[in-house]
Structure 1
């Protein structure tokens, strides 16, 4: 931190704090003292005036009863001996009407006359101090405590004001003197505290500038600063030891660097060889992984071939049987025709049987052709990565038809919810392989131990030219320890039972790499699974274009 950024110093801060504390203390104490003195002066003045008012009212009772005004005037003139009395009014009460009338008055020489207060006497039963005067009124009663009149007394408060002024002046003088004394003491105390700090600061600045860590600070007379000085000396001693050790270490480091350069060069060459070997090993690993994934696809296709072959065998066998029967019947008809024993009924029967056999042959051959065509398209899609336009519902039906040899013996059901006119342009092969793997996973893993499994496949075209494919089943779900790693290679619950652990890894790669999409999994153990797959497609408005392409 530079000097320009420093706003306060210990000296100024200490001085300001001490003076602030002294000022606040003196102001509070002086204010309390003045308040107490003024209150005392006020109470003394009030007590003196009340005593005079009581004395005058006691003496005025006889004069009011007798009506002796001259005696009352003489008595009031004796008040000249009391310098604070300015005006005295004695009011007599009319017994018949209850009204007050001025009986007599006293006025100190040199002071103006005060108008009658007969209507305001009740306001002065409590002393009122205002404008350097104090006013008070007292009742005049006879021996029977009957009110016969009032006494109004107006006294001077100059002595009170003088005492208040003297008190304020005295307190201000004392406060000023104490402020000066506090300031001088603060300066002295500041010098005692800040001088050792400045010496220590200058010592540290000089030590850091010259890097002379062998210097030691002198111990001040103040205990706390002496502890600080000792701590600084200990720190300097440790720094000196550290610097010496660092110099020794640097010397060793310089010697070591000379020998390390050759060692680093040797290890660098060894590391390059190891990196090259690691890269080759990693490339081989990727090749093996791609080969395993390809083998998995071919194995799936081989299983499909076996199933389709078994499925095609039945309609072809029925067609062979029907054609053989037709040939036998044709031989019989030919014999009867040559022997001229052919009857019309026999001919009719032959025609009927021929028609039935031909229908059987056509239906079975058509069924076999559908199976072969569906398998052909599925096989082409699985081995091809090119895009084509197709009806999505038709693609799903072809996949289910190719899987029928496996599915027909199982009690599980598959529901497809898709717009039959939905036509898209994308890669059919990855979709084919994805659905086959998901369905086979549900059959082998999800529906294990279940009698009636249910699969729901939903497809819809999103406004952003993306296809959303949702696959659900009501199977056993995926265990918690498998769910987070389900898309990793070689993760399976059928280890040692024919499961390779590459099915879901293949699905993930097909979605993210072949289709440039995303896949999300939701599953709870015992509540089935849900896969949400979203990938971009090029949609077409109708199926006419698809039919033209075929």
Structure 2
């Protein structure tokens, strides 16, 4: 709804005119209605007097049945144009004599008890016809009735003239009031409007050195004095504010430079921490692979010694001619079984070294390539096998074997490694139950969903809300840095442009839901 804004001068004029108009209308209304009532009553009373006089003159003619005399009396009414009809009735209701210049045929209704004023409401101030019935008496003997019909045009004309004069008077008075209101508003509001104009100019130009003057000690003079005081205070405050703003601006610029330097240092420190975590993970990977390879290689050396020993014994017996068929069969069975065990052991060691080689290269280079995500995560778990078997933890990986994603395997490896380390160090620390880790991988709405879950002791409620913040750990006295989940969070959000959700319940377990876009899921290839 549009708001109509009027100036105070216009409002004052309109208010003055409105109040004056109401007063004029009320006074004029009561004056006019009073005049109407007075003229109406006066007309009726005069008409009654006229009817009674006419009845007095006509009664003798009716008594003596002097029709010529009655007619002569009625003819004298021609000088009164307002009289429309006069009828003299005898006691039998018959017309004795009649004056009817307008030849009115309407039947006269005689009612001696009332005076009837038949109004014509369709015409303004027209009261129509006045009907009067007067008894014709002589010595208290009633001989008949005088019926008089008289037009009210004379009072209608008078009242219309009065109405026009009232309207004219009201209009002239309103014009006079309008002129007076303009004069008074200019006289009274001029200093206030001048002050308002000066205030607008000061607000526009910000020139708080401006002062106003008004030579009077009335309320407006006090207003001017207060305005000057306010402007002076504003000028002082503005000057002080500008000085404070300059000082604060310099301080802010200094703080901004310091913050930028701190941000750069923080980014560098964060990058160093990530690289340090990478190297730490790579060191753990080397340690784990070395431990894992050591067992199959030891078995291979043992098997090789057995084969060598059996082969030498077989050659010696053959050269000495003491070789029996049964002995040869027994030694060949041992050599065959040992060589088969040796082959499986070497293949297992070869697989471990191949996984170590690929994952270690991925963690260092961060190259982007297509991987079968299930196989790759299985390789990551394989490199952590020696640590998982110490818990021990049962690992379950569910995914489509053909599910392929183009990403940086090193980032995926670092994320899964940190989650595994988090489960081992925190989830299964002093764990008494059957430890389980499950990974469920699926493609949904052009996103790769990785759900990592363990059934460990869960995360304490005190740190659950800030578990992804840096340096938050419950193992600080045991060598924990509190950077593992922070690095996981940053890698998923910043590197892979994905999202990470976590739910955890104490003594039930912890679940991480990783969502990675299948397309453009990583930063630009370096």
TM-score, reference length from structure 2: 0.65
Deviation of 1:478 (Å): 5.3
Cα 1:438–1:21 change in 2 (3 A) is same
| Distance in structure 1 (CA, Å) of the matches to 2:452 and 2:118 | 100
Count matched residues.
453
User: Out of 433, 439, 446, which is 1:456 matched to?
Assistant: 439
- In the other structure, the counterpart of 2:514 is 532
In the TM superposition, residue 415 of structure 1 has moved relative to its aligned partner by 3.7
2:151 corresponds to which residue?
158
Match of 1:218 in 2: 216
After TM superposition, give the deviation of residue 116 of structure 1 in Å. Answer: 6.2
Deviation at 1:378, TM superposition (A): 1.5
How far the C-alpha of 1:395 sits from its partner, in A, is: 0.9
Could you give the per-residue CA deviations for residues 128-187 of structure 1, whole angstroms, max 9, x where no partner exists? 6448237899xxxxxxxxxxxxxxx9964623x543543453354345435545654664
Q: Of 223, 235, 239, which aligns to 1:231? A: 223
Corresponding residue SS for 1:532: strand
Q: 1:157 to 1:346 in 2, by over 3 A?
A: farther
1:114 to 105, 108, 128: 105
Counterpart selection for 1:304 from 271, 285, 288:
285
Find the partner of 2:500 among 512, 520, 524.
520
Deviation at 1:505, TM superposition (A): 3.4
Q: Name the residue aligned to 1:489.
A: 470
Further displaced range: 360-369 or 164-173: 164-173
Aligned with residue 344 of structure 1, among 325, 331, 340 = 325
SS of 1:492's equivalent in the other structure is: coil
Counterpart contact for 1:393–1:422, Cα < 8 Å: yes
| Pairing 1:428-443 to 2, within 5 Å after superposition | 428-443=409-424
Asked whether the 8 Å contact 1:26–1:175 carries over to 2, the reply is no
How far the C-alpha of 1:399 sits from its partner, in A, is 0.8
| 1:169 counterpart (142, 161, 167) | 161
Gaps of at least 5 residues in structure 1 are 1-5, 50-69, 93-102, 119-125, 138-152, 220-225, 257-266, 540-550
Is the CA contact (8 Å cut-off) linking 2:130 and 2:151 kept in structure 1? no
**TM-score, normalised on structure 1?**
0.62
Structure 2 stretches lacking a partner, 5+ long = 48-61, 78-82, 110-115, 121-126, 134-145, 203-208, 244-249, 522-526
- Give the distance between the partners of 1:481 and 1:294, measured in 2 at CA: 29
- d(CA) in 2 for partners of 1:520, 1:88: 118
- CA distance in structure 1 between the aligned counterparts of 2:231 and 2:520, rounded to whole angstroms: 75
- 1:235-314 matched pairs, under 5 angstroms: 235-236=227-228, 289-314=270-295
* Residues 447 and 169 (structure 1), Cα distance of their counterparts in 2 relative to 1, 3 Å cut: farther
